[in-house]
Amino acid sequence: MTFFDQLKAETEQERQQLFSIPIIQDALRGTVTTSQYIAFLTQAYHHVKHTVPLMMACGSRLGDRHEWLRQAIAEYIEEEIGHQEWILNDIAACGGDSDAARTSRPHASTELMVAYAYHQVDRHNPVSFFGMVHVLEGTSTALATHAADTIRGALALPPQAFSYLSSHGSLDLEHVAFFERLVNRLDEQRDREAVTHMARMMYGLYGNVFRSLPRGEALFGEPA
């Protein structure tokens, strides 16, 4: 079994727990509201804007034995720069206030998820960052594959409102294959354990972000 397959197998329970969250089930059925979608995008903005800084922090802390991984991170950075602006554009396309989203404070669940990622990269094993990538990329890909078209049809939103989710669609097979090849090159047990631990924790922390989203037509941060 490759490490990528092992990673999926050892975190499957946590993945199932995340996808059982009611609002994710609502999204898969297409029964979410526009305000809920904007709330999701707002919190996505608040964590996606940290993706490149986290990758930079990870790359700067890698030793010589991980020079190959530093080069891979450079490729990731080039791909990920500016994605948070896509999210703001999506919010505007939904009729939301992108400036308010940019200047808003993230929900505590989002703030804690990001803070935990920095803590692991700064204080423990920087390679653990790829456990976060596994969870966030995998979840976004699943939502894009199974929910984006359903949500778009149910809410009658334009394609311009889905650039963030669409970028993680099932056709992005090359990106998935790149990540799989990358983690399969991790041959030290401590690195594999760090990635697996981060993935397990991230499923819970990211799940809390979804649990914090409003129900009904309430905007994020307002009582439902």
| 139 within 8 A of 209, measured Cβ to Cβ | no
Tell me the fold of 3-211: Heme Oxygenase; Chain A (1.20.910)
Q: Where are the domains of the chain?
A: 3-211
Burial class (CB within 10 angstroms; exposed 0-12, middle 13-18, buried 19+) of 119:
exposed
pLDDT tens-place string over residues 118-163: 999 999 999 999 999 999 988 877 777 777 778 887 888 898 998 8
Within 10 Å of residue 107's Cβ, how many Cβ atoms?
A: 19
Encode burial over 164-184: b for 16+ CB neighbours within 10 A, e otherwise. Answer: bbbebbeebeeeeeebbebbe
pTM score? 0.90
**Are 185 and 68 in contact, with CB atoms under 8 Å apart?**
yes
Q: What is the mean pLDDT of each run of 10 residues along the chain (224 residues)?
A: 95 95 88 92 96 96 94 88 93 96 97 98 96 89 76 85 78 72 94 97 97 66 36
